[in-house]
Structures are given as structure tokens and as C-alpha cells.
Chain A
Amino acid sequence: MVPHDSQAGAPGDARRSQRLAPAELFRAFAEMSIYGFGGVMPWARRMLVDRRRWVDDREFAELLSIGQMLPGPNICNIAVIVGYRYCGWRGSVAAATGLMLPPFFIVLALGALYHRFGALPSVQGALRGMMAVAAGLVLMTGVKLAQSQPRTKRGLVFGLLSLTAVGVLRLPLGWVMLALIPAALIVEWRARP
């Protein structure tokens, strides 16, 4: 993957002339969202890169890295940015609404089922199993991400600091982030090759 640099111009420049209707953006994001069992990101790639060809591989990689850099739900940020590129702020609203609205009702329907039938022993059993697995899946994501990182002392220190501060000491996240993020940025900047 060629890293994007300041000389290469705005991502999607070649296609800037192409405009999309908000309805089209809404439909594409709603579709990938509904397919997205166990994570929307693979479907976002399939839809945006392979099927609609709104974004090429390089741009998608850039979108992913922006998603990792900005706060908030990654896929939601990608919807906002893609929508904006093709149809301004109305496109952003359409893409984000398409992404969120249909599964919003599905998840609430599941929640309603839980309230209606949650007292049944078999449902409680199923939920106990699902809860244990869901917790394991989050831990696994953390382990996998850690394995993909360069092994540096500063990485280990900042990882342990955030885990301890938030997971063990239960400090408010705002204070932890205000302290850790500037420190991590300074240390990383000074250590750059």
C-alpha cells in the first residue's frame, strides 16, 4: 500500500466531479449495515470498493486509518466522510442515517424480545453463554491488535497505563485521556525515526 502524502492531492480528486444523490448513499450504507453481522467493515469494503467503485483500495485504506485516528464509531466516521465527498453535508447525513437507522430498529427489537422472554430459563442460559463469548471476543480483539503492533517499551507502558487507570482504578475516562494522549503523542513524536 502506497502511503498517502501531501503531494498526491486530495483523496478521491479524480472522482470529485462525480456526484451522488443522498438516496443512493442512504441505500448503499443501509445495505452494508444490514448485511454486517459480526462487523460492518468487511461489507463496507465489498460495497464501496468492489461493487459501487466509489472508493479505490488506497482510499479505503486511508479511510480506515482516519477511522483509527479520529474518535467515535469508525464505520460511522467513514460513512460521514464518504457521504461528504460525494454530496456534501446532506450526503453525510444520508450515509450515516442509512448506516444506523435500519439496524437501530433491529437491535431494539432484539432488546424487546429480551425483555419479553428474558425470564425463561433457556433464554437465560443462552444469554449467559452469549455474554461469556462476547466478553471473550472483545479480549481477543485487544490481544490481536496488540500482536499487530511494533513491540516497543513505550507501547507496553501506555497500554498498561490505560488498562490500569480505566480497568482497575476505574478513573474517569476524560482525565485519563487528557493525561495519556498528549504524553503518548510526545513520546511517539520524539521516538520517530
Chain B
Amino acid sequence: MILLELAWRFALVSAMAFGGATAVIPEMHRFLVEQHHWIDDTTFAALFAISQASPGPNVLFVALFGWQVAGMAGAVVSTLAMCGPSSVLALAFEHYTGAHRDARWMTIIRRALAPVTIGLLMATGATLAQGADHSVATLALTIATVAVALRTSFNPLWLIAAGAVIGVLGYA
């Protein structure tokens, strides 16, 4: 049953999503593209790009992945599964530690998690680039994006729009 598989996989990913939803994209790629062949490499990157052109939380690419696999039901199930376990955890954390939270421990945990998260984000970038960059031009566009976005503070949406224009003009 595809919906159960989606629910189970995304629920697991939710509980492991240290550093946010974007950090666990390689794992989604692993089961959606490599294991089950539900989505191909390029569509995976395309759905992610589309989600970045939409308002709302980043995590919504999960809705598009679910929708691609199993239609509307897939979108609903995947989104709920991706947000459910982590939300319950956040709720429990707030409920049980709200009154006595030790800032030192939180600092240690954040410092320990940060490098792992950064490694995962880089892996996400590599996974997406693999689906997106099939020519020298697109590879150059990815590299240029890194360079421009590091030096400026444009809203990412403008850079996505610039990418779309460059693509329409036939340069990508």
C-alpha cells in the first residue's frame, strides 16, 4: 500500500530532520527515487524548485513529492507524516521543559548538531544539483547562484525568478 509506505517513511524522516526538512532531502531521494523509482531524478529536482517558488514553509516540497507518487491523498498523507512526529516532539519538549530549560545544554546540543546538519545540507545541494545540472550552463548557473547569494542578500525568490528567465531565454 503506497500511502502507508509514504506515511511511514516520511514519519521516520520527520523524527530525524535535525536542521529542518531541507537537510533530509537525500533520504527522501534515496527512497523515492533510488529504491522505489516513484519519481525520477529530474522530476525530483523540478518539484523541489517549484516548491521554492511558492510562499509558505520550505517543507511543502514534501506535498509535491507525495502528490507525484499518489495524487491528492499522497500529498495529504506525506505532509501530515512529515510534520506530525516532529510536532508532537516539539509539543512534548515545550510541555515538559518549558519551566526549567538549561541554556548550557541547549548550546551543547546545538553546537554538536550544527556540523552534522551542514554536512546534510551540502549532501542535499549535491543531490539536487545531480538532478538539475545536465549541462555546463546549468552547472555554471548553480555555481553562480552560490557566489551571488553569498555576497548579496536578495530574497531567494528573485534568484529563482532570475533562473527562470535565464532558462526561458534558452541559456540553461
Tell me whether A and B are bound partners.
Answer: yes
Show the binding face of A for B, using Cβ within 8 Å.
3-6, 9-11, 33-40, 65-77, 80-81, 84-85, 89, 92, 96, 99-100, 102-104, 106-108, 110-111, 114, 118, 122, 124-146, 149-150, 154-164, 166-168, 170, 172-174, 177, 180-181, 184-185, 187-189, 192
17 CB contacts below 8 A, A to B, read A5-B102, A73-B17, A73-B57, A75-B57, A110-B50, A127-B164, A127-B167, A131-B48, A131-B132, A132-B132, A135-B131, A138-B124, A141-B121, A145-B117, A163-B122, A172-B27, A184-B116
Give the residues in chain B near A74, CB-CB below 8 Å: 20
> How far does the alpha carbon of A155 sit from the alpha carbon of B118 in the complex, in Å?
10
User: Do residues B50 and A114 form an inter-chain contact, with CB atoms below 8 A?
Assistant: yes
Residue of B52, B56, B91, B139 contacting most chain A CB atoms (<10 Å): B56
Give the residues in chain A near B170, CB-CB below 8 Å: 125
B101 CB → nearest A CB, Å: 6
* B residues 104-129 touching A (CB-CB < 8 Å): 104, 106-129
Q: Is the interface of B mostly helix, strand, loop or mixed?
A: helix
B77-115 Cβ-contact flags toward A at 8 Å (1 or 0): 001001101110111011100111111101111111111
Look across to chain B and name the residue whose beta carbon is closest to the beta carbon of A81: B94
User: Do residues A162 and B55 form an inter-chain contact, with CB atoms below 8 A?
Assistant: no
Give the residues in chain A near B25, CB-CB below 8 Å: 138
Please report the number of residue pairs spanning A and B whose Cβ atoms sit closer than 8 angstroms. 381
Q: Per a CB cutoff under 8 Å, which of B110, B115, B120, B121 touches A156?
A: B115
Q: Is the interface of A mostly helix, strand, loop or mixed?
A: helix
B47-76 Cβ-contact flags toward A at 8 Å (1 or 0): 111111111111111011001100010010
> How far does the alpha carbon of A65 sit from the alpha carbon of B105 in the complex, in Å?
12
Give the residues in chain A near B104, CB-CB below 8 Å: 192
User: Do residues A65 and B108 form an inter-chain contact, with CB atoms below 8 A?
Assistant: no
| B39 interface residue (CB < 8 Å to A) | no
Give the residues in chain A near B59, CB-CB below 8 Å: 73, 76
Look across to chain B and name the residue whose beta carbon is closest to the beta carbon of A157: B115
Residue of A99, A107, A155, A168 contacting most chain B CB atoms (<10 Å): A107
Give the residues in chain A near B138, CB-CB below 8 Å: 128-129, 131-132
> Looking at chain B, what size class is its interface with the partner chain?
35 or more
User: Do residues A3 and B103 form an inter-chain contact, with CB atoms below 8 A?
Assistant: yes
> How far does the alpha carbon of A101 sit from the alpha carbon of B158 in the complex, in Å?
24
User: Do residues A177 and B63 form an inter-chain contact, with CB atoms below 8 A?
Assistant: no
User: Do residues A167 and B99 form an inter-chain contact, with CB atoms below 8 A?
Assistant: no
| B143 interface residue (CB < 8 Å to A) | yes
B133-172 Cβ-contact flags toward A at 8 Å (1 or 0): 1000011011111100110000111111011111111111
Q: Per a CB cutoff under 8 Å, which of B27, B34, B114 touches A155?
A: B114
Give the residues in chain B near A160, CB-CB below 8 Å: 119
> How far does the alpha carbon of A76 sit from the alpha carbon of B50 in the complex, in Å?
20
Give the residues in chain B near A127, CB-CB below 8 Å: 46, 49-50, 164, 167
Known pairs A36-B57, A81-B91, A139-B125 / 4 extra A-B pairs, C-beta < 8 Å: A107-B63, A135-B128, A136-B144, A161-B119
User: Do residues B164 and A167 form an inter-chain contact, with CB atoms below 8 A?
Assistant: no
User: Do residues B103 and A5 form an inter-chain contact, with CB atoms below 8 A?
Assistant: yes
